[in-house]
């Protein structure tokens, strides 16, 4: 069964850093693009970052220059390095598998999410 399992969330002060991890299992990780999508408490979904099978990355304007998405195909793991965190980054962060290597940008498998809370 295909699975994604996020970890690395927690409480951090404004200006701090966190690194989220998302190990994948049950599918050929290297063959698929991957993404991070977040959801602020009680709010809707917001796309954050994506990386295709070749390693090309895409970031939302709201996080560009502060967040970096990466992947380690040898470990079947997706990462999100988050620096200079702000209160408005507080959200559940979901790891999501994209339907293909990097052209059909829909999310057909989601993890359970990890909560990032930015507060002093």
Residue 48, number of CB atoms within 10 A of its CB: 23
CB of 43 to another protein, least distance (A): 9
Stretch that binds another protein, among 19-27, 43-51, 66-74, 77-85 (CB under 8 A): 43-51
User: Is the sign of the CA dihedral 45, 87, 9, 55 positive or negative?
Assistant: positive
> Given the DSSP bridges, would you call strands 114-118 and 57-59 parallel, antiparallel or unpaired?
unpaired
CB of 74 to another protein, least distance (A): 26
Figure out which of the listed residues 5, 8, 46, 76 binds another protein, where binding follows CB under 8 A: 46
Q: Which residues pair with 23 in a beta bridge?
A: 77
Figure out which of the listed residues 8, 58, 70, 73 binds another protein, where binding follows CB under 8 A: 58
Residue 88 and residue 97: Cα distance in Å, rounded?
Answer: 25
The contact set with another protein (CB under 8 A) reads 35, 37, 44-47, 50, 58, 60-61, 94, 99, 104-108, 110-113
């Amino acid at each position: 069964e295909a699975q994604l399992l996020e970890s690395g969330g927690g409480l951090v002060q404004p200006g701090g850093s966190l690194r989220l991890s998302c190990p994948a299992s049950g599918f050929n990780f290297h063959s698929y693009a991957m993404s991070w999508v977040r959801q602020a408490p009680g709010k809707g979904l917001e796309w954050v970052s994506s990386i295709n099978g070749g390693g090309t990355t895409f970031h939302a304007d709201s996080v560009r220059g502060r967040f970096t998405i990466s992947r380690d195909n040898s470990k079947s793991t997706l990462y999100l390095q988050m620096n200079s965190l702000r209160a408005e980054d507080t959200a559940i962060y979901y790891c999501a598998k994209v339907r293909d290597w990097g052209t059909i940008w829909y999310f057909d498998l989601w993890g359970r999410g990890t909560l990032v809370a930015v507060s002093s």
